[in-house]
Amino acid sequence: MKIQGFMLLICIENMRTRMNRIEDFELFQSSVNKQFKIIENQLADYQKLEDYYGFSICPKGRVGGIDERRIEIFYGNRPYDKRKIISDDMNIRTELLSESGAELSVFRDDFGFACIQLYPAESKFGKQREESILVNCHLDPRRLLKHRFQKHMMLILNSYMAVTCLEGNPTPCDKLRVFLLRTFKPTVVEKRVQPARIWPLINSIVKFVLTVGLSGFLLKIIDSYV
């Protein structure tokens, strides 16, 4: 019975069409403001960051609010310092330094799947190694409707903000979440997608094990015939 139930579930999943996925994405888009405000109020530990930077939820993107394929949830900008510089006309002027907050962007592709991307907080002299983290690249939008997954998205955004912004005071949980994201998810560095850091490590370990194992095997054969 369990096997039959599992096969039925697979069949139902395969029956979902592109239009089903688009409908779920649009449903999430229409409810994201209300749902994320509720979750935001539940996460009081990050209230200080919201007070410092401001916090926005744009169901159709921050540029005009007309992008049907995009949802942007982000912390705002704030000035943090100033410095004196010499301008092109050789006059001394004051430059205001500002910081932009972290962002979680959800984008729908042509097949109806969602892509979730995290952007770090960024300042003039405080850029991160990665330009963004690809959290999910082929996600069925039906998962976006689940409260648990919505809370997960909010938590990783807040943790990423706490770790990468100037005024962040990350907890051990924040640092662990960001470490796991940077280790197990692909990143964008210099506009190129880089594989998750864990894969080169696993590749090195496998090569080492195979090299040592093969050497031991060959030594065993040689020893047997000598």
Residue 10 has pLDDT above 50, yes or no: no
Q: What is the pLDDT of residue 208?
A: 52
Of residues 30 and 89, which shows the higher confidence score?
30
In sign, the C-alpha dihedral spanning 103, 98, 67, 130 is negative
**pTM: predicted TM-score of the whole model, two decimal places:** 0.81
**Domain assignments of the chain as residue spans, ordered by start:** 15-217
Residue 3: pLDDT band (50, 70, 90) is low
Quick one: pLDDT at residue 200? 65
For residues 207 and 171, give the distance between their C-alpha atoms in angstroms, rounded to a whole number: 36
Judged by average pLDDT, the poorest of 54-58, 93-97, 220-224 is 220-224
Give tens-digit pLDDT for 75-118.
999 998 888 888 778 888 888 899 999 999 999 999 999 999 99
Tokens of 24: 């779920």
Contact 73, 144 (CB under 8 A): no
